[in-house]
Structure 1
Amino acid sequence: MNGKAEEMAPLKGVSLILAGVVLALTNFMVVLDTTIANVSVPHIAGSLGISGSQGTWIITSYAVAEAVCVPLTGWLAGRFGTVRTFTFGMIGFGVFSVLCGLSTTLGMLVACRIGQGLCGGPLMPLSQTLLMRIFPPQQRAQAMGVWAMTTVVAPILGPILGGTISDSWSWHWIFFINIPVAALCAFGAMRLLSKVETPTSKLRVDRVGLMLMLLWIGALQIMLDLGREHDWFNDTTIVMLGVTALIGFLVFLAWEGTEDQPIVDLRVFRHRGFTVAVASLSFAFATFFASAVIIPQWLQTSMGYTATYAGYATAFTGVAAVIMSPIVAKLSTKADPRALVCFGILWLGFTSLLRVHWNSQADFWSLAFPQMLQGIGMPFFFIPLTTLALGSVRPEETASAAGVMSFLRTMAGAIGTSIATTAWDDSARVARSELTSKLNSDGTVNALTAQGFSLDQARATIAQLVDKEAFALATSHIFLLSAIVFVAAAMIIWLTPRPTRAVGPGAAH
């Protein structure tokens, strides 16, 4: 009886359309929040009196919390019901959005972003699950196509919307705009989706595995975020965090490897194709996501861009990605997915090399054009990688593998951002020291004072010039390293065998 119910379409007509809109809008909002804060970090940092590197905690805390909650989605849906979990997640997301907007300190904002991530983590996979339940089989592919478009369009609009709101009103409104959407979607879910609620049972949760996961991930992320300010392993606190993360991770691996119902099913890593594909995905996505955080900061802090124009410059990536996605989807059924992935990641490396030539005199289109070119490679990277990874595991392991894949991708983005922003600041510091030494030794101060500048004015002029050039050099350095990582990620994909089975639409989530 339950099996037949799964195949029925409980909703029809207007109710079906409205429910589909609610689910697509939910996914759009959750994905939007992963990028909307990227261009607002300088605004937030200035408002709260913190450094730019501390401002990135707002991004990484959300990503880590979201990643941690993804493996729990199946248990939450089975224990409390898919619709009920979705509704409470949406309400929680709205409440924490209000608290984010009301935050007056960095600690409060980071805590509320963690709450946002914990509530928002299950919403993306649950929205997909519910779409598959409410639409009849013959319409599911079209429904998933619309759902997928929200996943692609949201990151495009995120920087533009975030920049415009921050410049026109204040950064608080990048969170307040979630409130009406969350209220509408929660109300819509309660009224429209109650008919498709799933049965519940008292499922056991791997509490030890969950605690161990929270322990090592929390320790690792805090270590990465605080390391630069505490002189890394010269500080006892950082050493203790590092030891905790390492031991916690090793115990977590041992526990999950022997647990009957693990919080993260590590057994999928016995498939070489899955392991290699996920490794490639993690390195490439970490590098890509880190650049999406660094570029807006550089444009605003050193290049004089407003948040709005920084958003315009970075959003061009998504334009080409939208255009190329249907083309790549067709190619994926004909070409070797390994070749498509390799091309896509190498293309990302090529666009990183174009950015190595950026300097403090670059105009808008010199900055935006590589962003647009980058978008061409994105679908080649994401779509075939899903086929490779999930096509390498057994059919009954697809759900577990997709959860692990989503978890690692999101974690990689957070860790990559922390490492890249630290490297960016350190590189700028070294460049600043070298430039200052050179300018002070070649008579620049004397030349400026000879032109009528006072000694203080001359030093201030040199300091301003040095800061601008130092961050330009640091940005070029980061993109050179990024190109190397992309090449490595592209090459290792050939270690995976060609998948032996097709993967259903939307299985990545």
Structure 2
Amino acid sequence: MSLADQQRQPQPLTGSALFVGVICLAMANFLAILDTTIANVSISNIAGSLGVSTSQGTYVITSYAVAEAISVPLTGWLSSRFGSVRVFVTCFVFFGVFSLLCGLANSMTTLVMCRVMLGFSGGPLMPLSQTLMIRIFPKNKSHTAIGIWSMTTLVAPITGPIIGGMLCDHYSWPYIFFCKVPFALIAGFACWQLLRKFETKTEKSRIDVVGLVMLVVWVAALQIMLDEGKNLDWFESNKIIMLAIIAAVGFVAFLIWELTERNPVVDLRVFRHRGFSMSMITLSLGFGSFFSIAVITPLWLQIYMGYTATISGFATAFMGILAFFMAPVIAEVSSRFDARPFVFVGVLWLGIWTFVRSYANLDMTFFQISWPIFFQGIGMPLFFVPLTGIALGCVGEREIYSAAGLMNFIRTLSGAFATSMVNTSWEKETRYIHSELAGLTDQHGVATHAMQAGGMSLGQVRSSIDWLVQKQSVMVATNQLFMVIAVIFIVAACFIWLAPKPKHAVDASASH
């Protein structure tokens, strides 16, 4: 860059302007990530209020995640076409508007549609908030900007279940969406006032429309198939067969098109690097497993253990406490050594503690449930932080931003798919175990006679016994599922050794 170009660059913010700018940009990243977990503990409340099953209630999670995953690859094109500040502020304001509409929704269909639009709005906020954060800081303080941004990335998933639980218990589920509206609108307006001078140059760049349409088609078809399969008896349904064909054909066509297109919406050529490919396998398996246990745990605690949304939120959030304090240390240490052992130990640690949690029972106290979750959190920074360095360190310098966008896409999509699959498996296994236990329970009618002698009617007795059987069935199914997830964690940990040692160090700012 010439001296004249450097002089034309806007000067970094200082003083109170820098403080407000940091708060507003951090707020955008915080809210976008918060939305991935704030609804986890509220699923049963939302489902009950809107008259749908809890499995249908998980559409609130998957719809946002899928829409967010699709919008992330578009961030680069949108920024070059309309300007990064304009795109950021527009998405921020829309995020507030659609949060309001989510809270006002009176049916699951309306809520899911609003959540899709919320995901489209939230996707670009994460990468743009970081790049703008770096731009408003002096160059010698860029690591401070990255540190602040990373802190919000870790805090948001921790506080999501707590905020969601408290709002559901003390108010009602719409407030988990209403609470974000004033922050998004006010911070969005402040960002426009402060950051206009940092607007990037625009150009009429071409977008890969065909690739984008194919992406939306196969991802949407696959997600709908996963969500609806359990309700339609899977491939006994013509609808599921059709969705499977569309997803398969769409995916193959998408691969062929993106690998031959000059300016693809998702640059799949980076998969030619073995280190990146192996890292993505580890990421998809590991993050999918992690998100699965994060979804199941609050549902089990609320429906079958009698916990309130607030208490289940606190139990789930324990996983993030140690991760929050360890992340900066892991980032510093793993950058000096081979990062593969860190990832291996982190994912293996998550698997070991998932296996420990597979021995749960209905008589456990809050402490007995939460302490394994607390120690399991050690694996999170060991897994996520070094893996980024490995994945991006194995690609070419010019491919880093494409690889980073693809990494975000895979991570978000893995969470959405895992949510659907784990809910399907959980319900299917519960029904099977329930049918097995029902035939073995009170075969001689001793318990029935005793309960009737205590004043209960036959209908009350049957209902009571069925509920006891159901609780035990869910407990056994949950433990079995956790054992399977533990194995997947272990397999994911082993894949990282197939990746070579990274060729070069990567700035953490490139990862988002």
The normalised TM-score by structure 1 is 0.98
Equivalent residue for 1:505?
508
Counterpart Cα distance in 2 of 1:99 and 1:485: 38
1:74 aligns with 2:76: yes
Equivalent residue for 1:477?
480
Pick from 324, 331, 342 the counterpart of residue 340 of structure 1. 342
Partners of 2:10 and 2:198 within 8 A in 1: no
Pick from 470, 482, 485 the counterpart of residue 467 of structure 1. 470
**TM-aligned CA deviation for residue 327 of structure 1:** 2.2
Equivalent residue for 1:95?
97
**TM-aligned CA deviation for residue 106 of structure 1:** 0.4
Counterpart Cα distance in 2 of 1:220 and 1:190: 38
Counterpart Cα distance in 2 of 1:12 and 1:108: 44
Helix, strand or coil at the partner of 2:378: helix
Letter in 2 for 1:455: L
Pick from 264, 272, 275 the counterpart of residue 270 of structure 1. 272
Equivalent residue for 1:231?
233
- The C-alpha deviation readout for 1:417-453, integer Å capped at 9, x for no partner, is 1000110111111111111111142434344335554
Counterpart Cα distance in 1 of 2:232 and 2:448: 34
Counterpart Cα distance in 2 of 1:327 and 1:140: 18
Counterpart Cα distance in 2 of 1:342 and 1:314: 24
**TM-aligned CA deviation for residue 17 of structure 1:** 1.8
Counterpart Cα distance in 2 of 1:44 and 1:105: 10
Helix, strand or coil at the partner of 2:486: helix
Pick from 187, 207, 220 the counterpart of residue 205 of structure 1. 207
Counterpart Cα distance in 2 of 1:6 and 1:21: 26
**TM-aligned CA deviation for residue 503 of structure 1:** 0.6
Equivalent residue for 1:438?
440
Partners of 2:361 and 2:475 within 8 A in 1: yes
Pick from 309, 320, 323 the counterpart of residue 321 of structure 1. 323
Partners of 1:345 and 1:381 within 8 A in 2: yes
**TM-aligned CA deviation for residue 6 of structure 1:** 8.5
- The C-alpha deviation readout for 1:77-108, integer Å capped at 9, x for no partner, is 00000000001101111110011000000000
**TM-aligned CA deviation for residue 5 of structure 1:** 5.9
Counterpart Cα distance in 1 of 2:341 and 2:183: 40
Partners of 1:9 and 1:133 within 8 A in 2: no
**Which stretches in structure 1 are left out of the alignment for 5+ residues?**
none
Helix, strand or coil at the partner of 2:318: helix
**Which stretches in structure 2 are left out of the alignment for 5+ residues?**
none
Calculate percent identity across the aligned residue pairs.
Answer: 50
**TM-aligned CA deviation for residue 354 of structure 1:** 1.3
Helix, strand or coil at the partner of 2:350: helix
Instruction: Calculate the aligned-residue CA RMSD, in Å.
Output: 1.3
Counterpart Cα distance in 1 of 2:8 and 2:34: 31
Counterpart Cα distance in 1 of 2:453 and 2:22: 70
Counterpart Cα distance in 1 of 2:297 and 2:7: 49
Partners of 1:7 and 1:136 within 8 A in 2: no
Helix, strand or coil at the partner of 2:202: coil
- The C-alpha deviation readout for 1:326-379, integer Å capped at 9, x for no partner, is 221222033321100000000000110111111111110111111111111100
Counterpart Cα distance in 1 of 2:444 and 2:255: 57
Range 482-491 or range 435-444, more displaced: 435-444
Helix, strand or coil at the partner of 1:154: helix
The normalised TM-score by structure 2 is 0.97
Pick from 398, 401, 407 the counterpart of residue 399 of structure 1. 401
1:170 aligns with 2:164: no
Pick from 486, 490, 493 the counterpart of residue 490 of structure 1. 493
Helix, strand or coil at the partner of 2:114: helix
Equivalent residue for 1:189?
191
Counterpart Cα distance in 2 of 1:477 and 1:17: 49
Letter in 1 for 2:69: A
Counterpart Cα distance in 2 of 1:496 and 1:177: 43
Partners of 1:100 and 1:109 within 8 A in 2: yes
1:256 aligns with 2:258: yes
Partners of 2:42 and 2:165 within 8 A in 1: yes
Pick from 284, 287, 291 the counterpart of residue 285 of structure 1. 287
Partners of 1:10 and 1:196 within 8 A in 2: no
Partners of 1:10 and 1:195 within 8 A in 2: no
1:370 aligns with 2:372: yes
Helix, strand or coil at the partner of 1:506: helix
Helix, strand or coil at the partner of 2:440: helix
Letter in 1 for 2:308: T
Equivalent residue for 1:155?
157
**TM-aligned CA deviation for residue 505 of structure 1:** 2.2
